[in-house]
Amino acid sequence: MELVAEEKILELERRIKQLEATKKKDQLSMVVFSGELDKLLAAMIIATGATAMDMEVKLFFTFWAISALRDKEKRAKKKELTSKMFGAMLPKGTSDVKLSKMNMAGAGLSMLKSLMKKKNVASLDDLLKTAGELGVEINICEMSMDLMGLSKDEMIDYPDLNYCGVGTYLADAEESAIQLFI
Amino acid sequence: MSQEELVAIQADKVVDARGTACPGPLLAAKKAIAEITSGQVMEVLSADEGTKKDIPKWATKKNHEYMGTVEESGFFKIYLRKA
């Protein structure tokens, strides 16, 4: 009788260990792919909001979103001609990004920006600054950065800025309770 | 808690987040609650409608007691007791 009980306890302990190993962290993992203001705002509002909910936040910036992290003041060193051309056509930082809808050659964009001011909605720059202060990690996809003709030396100064590949994102996402793609 | 009881509360900390929209009030609440001790009461002032739903959800997650909301003209006050 006692032996059976002991075996049951051992079995339960084994199962608990198994569950603990697969338990998701209170963490948000987000792929930030889009380079338009509205989508970037959504991404950064969710990211900063998640820190308020005490979640760890890891952002993986890839493709069009990377241009928003360019620093207007910084100049990239040596680039190939095609990279140079591609880089020149992409937005140079947050002040250059457009709307995904109703941009109307910038008219919609400036309307939205003035509405945001009026309604006390934080700007993309403010959100990035807040995210940095709150410990939101930004990982830039090295491969797509290179593909877009961008380089590390033209990215903004941000506290937790890292460069990585898809493996890092997948490892982070696998252990995150929430995963998003924007 | 009744509205009369809520109005009578003297909060240990008042956070005025009326100048910010979502997620500003939530971030302000998170920052401010770190500055009070367990059992103390915090009052959050906000004009962002979403905050009314957000703060109780956040409080539940963090085990803080959501005491209630009082409407004022153009804004509202949310009362919480720190866990």
- Which CATH number does the domain A25-181 belong to among 3.30.70.20, 2.60.34.10, 3.40.1260.10, 3.40.1030.10? 3.40.1260.10
Q: What are phi and psi of A162, to 5 degrees?
A: -130, 160
Contacts of B27 in chain A (CB under 8 A): 48-49, 51-52, 130, 134
Say what the pLDDT of residue A2 is.
Answer: 74
Say which of B21, B27, B48 has its CB closest to residue A52.
B27
Give the integer Cα–Cα distance in Å for A115 and B46: 19
Given a cut of 70, whether residue A90 has pLDDT beyond it is: yes
Task: Answer yes or no: is the ipTM higher than 0.85.
Answer: no
Beta-carbon pairs below 8 A across chains A and B: 35
Given a cut of 80, whether residue A1 has pLDDT beyond it is: no
What DSSP designation does B13 have? E
Q: How many domains does chain B have?
A: 1
Paired tokens of B37: 């001790």
Residue-range definition of the domain harbouring residue B54: 3-81
In 3-state terms, what secondary structure has residue B75? coil
Give the integer Cα–Cα distance in Å for A77 and A85: 14
User: Cβ contact (<8 Å) for A120 and B19?
Assistant: yes
Given a cut of 90, whether residue A87 has pLDDT beyond it is: no
Say what the pLDDT of residue A20 is.
Answer: 84
Report the Cα A29 to chain-centroid distance in Å: 8
Pairing of strands A25-32, A176-181: parallel
Distance between A46 CA and the closest CA of chain B, angstroms: 8
Give the CA distances from residue B81 to residues A82, B9, B72, B78, in Å, rounded to whole numbers and listed in that order: 59, 11, 20, 10
Asked whether the beta carbons of B83 and B65 are under 8 A apart, the reply is yes
Q: What is the mean pLDDT of residues A7-33?
A: 92
Q: What is the mean pLDDT of residues A89-114?
A: 93
Q: How many CB atoms lie within 10 A of CB A11?
A: 10
User: Cβ contact (<8 Å) for A120 and B21?
Assistant: yes
Distance between B29 CA and the closest CA of chain A, angstroms: 8
Given a cut of 70, whether residue A113 has pLDDT beyond it is: yes
Residue A168 β-bridge partners = none
Contacts of B19 in chain A (CB under 8 A): 120
**Using 50, 70 and 90 to split pLDDT, how confident is the model at A76?**
confident
Question: Helix, strand, coil proportions of chain A in percent (round to 5)?
Answer: 55, 15, 30
For the domain that residue B43 is a member of, what is the CATH number? 3.30.110.40
Give the integer Cα–Cα distance in Å for A123 and A110: 12
Contacts of A54 in chain B (CB under 8 A): 30, 61-62
Give the integer Cα–Cα distance in Å for A156 and A165: 19
Q: Does B80 or A87 have the greater pLDDT score?
A: B80
Give the CA distances from residue B57 to residues A87, B37, B49, B53, B74, in Å, rounded to whole numbers and listed in that order: 43, 20, 14, 7, 22
Is the bond leading into B23 cis (omega within 30 degrees of zero)?
Answer: yes
Given a cut of 90, whether residue B1 has pLDDT beyond it is: no
Which residues of B belong to the active site?
Answer: 22
Distance between A134 CA and the closest CA of chain B, angstroms: 9
What DSSP designation does A165 have? -
Q: Return the percentage of chain A with pLDDT > 70, whole number.
A: 99
Say what the pLDDT of residue A82 is.
Answer: 86
E strand spans, A52-144: 56-61, 137-141
Q: Rg of chain A's alpha carbons, rounded to an integer? A: 21
Q: What is the pLDDT of residues B24-70, one digit of tens each?
A: 999 999 999 999 999 999 999 999 999 999 999 999 999 999 999 99
Mean pLDDT of chain A, nearest integer: 93
Say which of B24, B29, B58 has its CB closest to residue A122.
B24
Give the integer Cα–Cα distance in Å for B5 and B7: 6
Q: What is the pLDDT of residues A135-170, one digit of tens each?
A: 999 999 999 999 999 999 999 999 999 999 999 999
Asked whether the beta carbons of A42 and A121 are under 8 A apart, the reply is no
